[in-house]
Amino acid sequence: MKHFLQIKGMYTRKNFIFSFLSILFSFLIIDSLFTQYKTYIEAHFNIFLIGFLYLCILFMYVFCAFYIFISVIKRLRNIQKNTWLSLLVIVPILNILFIVYLCIAEEK
């Protein structure tokens, strides 16, 4: 069984789009829930629970970024491009264009 966090392997266009959208939507849902109830949490819970919650949110950010990098690397391998291009995900505005390119690029 293949593990989804392994850097080995390739993603087809369909796999890349599905993995990217699933991590994006899960991130947006959790982040919006946290920001919506942030004032309630800070008013009704002690400082240790709030710190743990912020630590969990930080872990989620790091996991999402790591998963997106892995997905981009797998897709770049599928279209036979240099995997160092995955660093373009960090550059604002260019990252959106790069993700769109990865979604529409033909497999080789």
The pLDDT tens digits for 8-38 are 778 889 989 998 899 889 888 888 888 887 7
The pLDDT score that the predictor gives to residue 41 is 76
The structure tokens listed for 33 are: 């829930």
Mean pLDDT computed over 42-65: 83
CB atoms inside a 10 Å sphere around CB 23: 18
Of 12-16, 27-31, 84-88, 101-105, least confident by mean pLDDT is: 27-31
Sign of the alpha-carbon dihedral angle for 4, 7, 11, 14: positive
Eight-state DSSP code of residue 35: H
Which backbone phi and psi does 37 adopt, to 5 degrees? Answer: -105, 15
Neighbours of 65 (CB within 10 A): 14
